Amino acid sequence: MDYLADTEKWVFAENLRKYREQAFPGWGGLGRFAKAAGVSSYTLSQWMSGKQMPSTARIHALAKVLGVEAGELYTPQAPEAETSIPDFVQEQIAVIDTLVLLLTYNRQALLGKVDAWSRNEGFRIINALVQGELRKVSER
């Protein structure tokens, strides 16, 4: 397996998807892009999934249709800036995560996959977590 070639395919596929979505947005965008590029939707999907790579000439044609330079299809993109999540949303996420843990544990206990001591100790710990998270939210 050629790591460099696989990475190049992945970068190309990611960029092709991104630029396609910008130039040909929406549900029918793939079909419109395929028609403009003179290839089938199946061929485009193969390229956008990284399963196949187009020829150099085809890459230049794709770039022209997308309105970008061919090199932009090969250049790794900087990750988009992360947006900060407000504290109150993070607290709500923590409560939800705790409740999901509780439900999952309850399911395991009901199915008999947890022994009696673990079940009691697990319920005690989860109850403390839920009470602590709910207290945090109610104190706001």
- Mean pLDDT, consecutive 10-residue stretches, the chain (140 aa), reads 67 90 89 93 89 90 93 77 69 72 66 60 66 60
**Do residues 42 and 31 touch, judged by C-beta distance below 8 A?**
no
Entry pTM: 0.54
Give the three-class secondary structure for 82. coil
Please name the amino acid found at residue 31.
G
